[in-house]
Chains A and B, each alone.
Chain A
């Protein structure tokens, strides 16, 4: 099973088929649509599992689409970083399960098939993005996932949703154009689009300025996609106004695409070997540190719980980007594992917030006072998510932040390790506010105590993710030892 060579293309094609056929399957049978989407994601997860087992057994491998030799055709390349398909499938599957009742009750019926189409296309885009080994192909998948993400923000039809989606669209489209321009520049000096081929040819390129501009352009536009401060302005509205399962996907996965893009850029340039990346590293570390603090700072003043979570995403992206920029072995391991763990944590929090808002109809801290007694299980999941995201051991958030802090010391920049701890303190404050208002304050609306738990289709994803937040804290060694060889290989001679 594991050695079947076609899993790498299957994992893209299955959700793609699922997406384009959803309107066909759903014609006149609206009840079948969510089950169809879940089935498709189950098959995709199977492919992801096979790929991850194979990469753990034999290391990175490639698939030549159309049978054309590299660099003439398109190469799909699966390395340890591509194992992110696992978290994409997991969070995607759980968000689809969460949508089962949620979407039927909140989204106009005629839009529902296209909602599922867009979710599946979005997941297809992300999976393609992380497994492709070709720079232009990367851009194509970036477009699929961005376009579907813009639409998913607007799909709820709430009055500011269109505006939020439009803001997202403008920022996203501009950054996509810059990605395309940078790919064009790299092509003009290397004559190739295959990432590994570009890396090997870049070393011999004489024209440094186009290459540096391409690097700057790619870094800048992926920072927009990752919502790094000060390029984050599209994120809070978009993530808080989207339907909650979409918020979980956007916040847990889609912003990571920007980080992953940065990671791929680093792989190319580290692979080329002859470029000095200190400038970019310093910029990333500083922007990361500022994002941590500013994201947490803005979150403290939010009343709306989803808005608070959206700002919290900005801080967490700050952690990951800082880890990338520190460029030491520990910090990179911490950053890549945090991509995974933050998706679990933010998935828990956004889905739980979605269930609370769905059941009570309120979304601000003042209105939601006392909800902890009405929805004990959901609020327990929120608490687990909160302690994870602050980084209290033994939860999933602790280990990666610890590694990033260690990395800061390893890179000889202890000040950033301290910034990181300060950020965690800020984050602690606003999550304490949330937990405090849920459990310990007198309800503003007494009728909130009558509200029961959400249906099982919503409760199960929340509980699974919350449990994983704890489990991944205890079994944190597994992802770390999985990603370690890839990080060492990537840093190569630069590694500390």
Chain B
């Protein structure tokens, strides 16, 4: 009966959605509003305005960089949520309600096939190198901080499985841990404030206007380097820094979530 009701409800909700899809602007038509308004502007101006050859990167890190600033904050929020809900005090008072504290000695003795362990350790540096490549090449080809960070995080998880908890956690030193976990939002904030101070608004990339930026341009022309090229070089560095921050922060968050869930 309940199933029947749910099915009926889904059909009733589905009909207007299907009718709506039929009315949406046709995919690929030149009159489609999604092609003619904002994105047309991006396609025309992004490469010279925003500094990266990959227009998607231009949009997510520059035109709509503030959204990405928010997205990395969402990822950080997820980590804070996991830690706030799962961390337990080691005191008996808090652990009293739990049926039994998780056996601590079991985790490191999980048997892993020698072949798997060897292969993972053999591949680890190459995976890390690939992750770095994906992060740093994001401004030119598909990829970037989110993708590279995920690869790096997955590597940390794979290493935890074969090396055990203790050994793998050395990847993230205790003292640096909170910094690295917050790396992505922090990079955005630092770059954003640099833009605010040097150019004129939060997350604005160096251009010819703004006093600090014009000082940089003067510096480049003084050392015999074309000022415009120098600025676009600074802009590319800005993008790389953001990608790098997103990548490192993302990896730290993924690994920390995995470790917390595994331990508690």
Residues of A within 8 A of B (CB): 5-6, 9, 13, 16-17, 19-21, 23-24, 27, 63-68, 71-74, 108-111, 114-115, 117-118, 121, 124, 128, 134, 136-137, 140-141, 143-144, 147-148, 150-152, 154-155, 157, 159, 162, 165, 185, 187-193, 201, 205, 207-210, 213
CB within 8 Å for A147 and B81 given contacts A20-B185, A140-B70, A207-B25: yes
In B1-39, the 8 Å CB interface with A consists of 16-17, 19-20, 23-25, 32-39
Contact among B16, B85, B203 with A154 in the assembled complex (CB-CB below 8 Å): B85
Question: 28 pairs across A/B with beta carbons < 8 Å?
Answer: A13-B193, A20-B186, A23-B178, A23-B181, A24-B178, A65-B201, A66-B66, A66-B195, A66-B202, A67-B204, A108-B87, A108-B94, A114-B83, A114-B84, A117-B84, A121-B76, A137-B70, A140-B71, A148-B81, A154-B84, A159-B97, A162-B85, A165-B85, A185-B24, A189-B33, A190-B33, A190-B37, A191-B33
Contact among A5, A66, A118 with B84 in the assembled complex (CB-CB below 8 Å): A118
Interface segment, one of B57-65, B140-148, B161-169, B216-224: B57-65
Nearest 9 A-B pairs (CB), nearest first? A191-B37, A151-B81, A140-B70, A191-B33, A114-B84, A20-B182, A67-B204, A23-B178, A108-B89
Residues of chain B with a CB closer than 8 A to A110's CB: 87-89
CB-based contact A74/B36 at 8 Å: no
- The reply on B200 being an interface residue by CB < 8 A is yes
Nearest-neighbor residue (CB-CB) of A115 within chain B: B84
- Is the contact region of chain A dominated by helix, strand, or loop, or is it mixed? helix
Residues of chain B with a CB closer than 8 A to A208's CB: 23
CB-based contact B80/A148 at 8 Å: yes
- The reply on B73 being an interface residue by CB < 8 A is yes
Min CB gap B127→A, angstroms: 28
- The reply on B107 being an interface residue by CB < 8 A is no
CB-based contact B65/A66 at 8 Å: yes
Residues of B within 8 A of A (CB): 16-17, 19-20, 23-25, 32-39, 41-42, 62-67, 70-71, 73-74, 76-78, 80-81, 83-85, 87-89, 94, 97, 178-179, 181-182, 185-186, 189, 192-193, 195-196, 199-205, 207
Residues of chain A with a CB closer than 8 A to B38's CB: 71-72, 191-193
Nearest-neighbor residue (CB-CB) of B77 within chain A: A147
Residues of chain B with a CB closer than 8 A to A191's CB: 32-39
CB-based contact B88/A108 at 8 Å: yes
CB within 8 Å for A121 and B80 given contacts A108-B89, A111-B87, A191-B34: yes
Nearest-neighbor residue (CB-CB) of A136 within chain B: B67
- Docked Cα-Cα span, A19 to B72, in Å, equals 13
Nearest-neighbor residue (CB-CB) of B61 within chain A: A66
Residues of chain B with a CB closer than 8 A to A187's CB: 34
In the complex, given contacts A111-B85, A188-B33, A192-B38, what are 18 additional A-B residue pairs having Cβ atoms less than 8 angstroms apart? Answer: A20-B182, A21-B182, A66-B63, A66-B195, A73-B63, A74-B66, A74-B67, A118-B80, A134-B67, A137-B66, A144-B74, A144-B77, A151-B81, A157-B94, A190-B33, A191-B33, A191-B35, A210-B24
- Docked Cα-Cα span, A150 to B38, in Å, equals 35
- Docked Cα-Cα span, A121 to B89, in Å, equals 23
Residues of chain B with a CB closer than 8 A to A74's CB: 64, 66-67
- Docked Cα-Cα span, A23 to B79, in Å, equals 12
- Docked Cα-Cα span, A96 to B176, in Å, equals 27
- Docked Cα-Cα span, A280 to B195, in Å, equals 43
CB within 8 Å for A66 and B89 given contacts A150-B81, A191-B37: no
CB-based contact A16/B73 at 8 Å: yes
Min CB gap A201→B, angstroms: 8
- Docked Cα-Cα span, A121 to B182, in Å, equals 13
- Docked Cα-Cα span, A74 to B23, in Å, equals 29
Nearest-neighbor residue (CB-CB) of A145 within chain B: B77
Min CB gap A236→B, angstroms: 20
Nearest-neighbor residue (CB-CB) of A17 within chain B: B189
- Docked Cα-Cα span, A151 to B80, in Å, equals 8
Residues of chain A with a CB closer than 8 A to B181's CB: 23
Residues of chain A with a CB closer than 8 A to B84's CB: 111, 114-115, 117-118, 151-152, 154-155
Nearest-neighbor residue (CB-CB) of A162 within chain B: B85
Residues of chain A with a CB closer than 8 A to B195's CB: 66-67
Contact among B32, B67, B81, B199 with A118 in the assembled complex (CB-CB below 8 Å): B81
Residues of chain B with a CB closer than 8 A to A19's CB: 80
- Docked Cα-Cα span, A137 to B74, in Å, equals 12
Residues of chain B with a CB closer than 8 A to A159's CB: 97
- Docked Cα-Cα span, A63 to B200, in Å, equals 11
Min CB gap B184→A, angstroms: 9
- Docked Cα-Cα span, A185 to B77, in Å, equals 27
CB-based contact A16/B81 at 8 Å: no
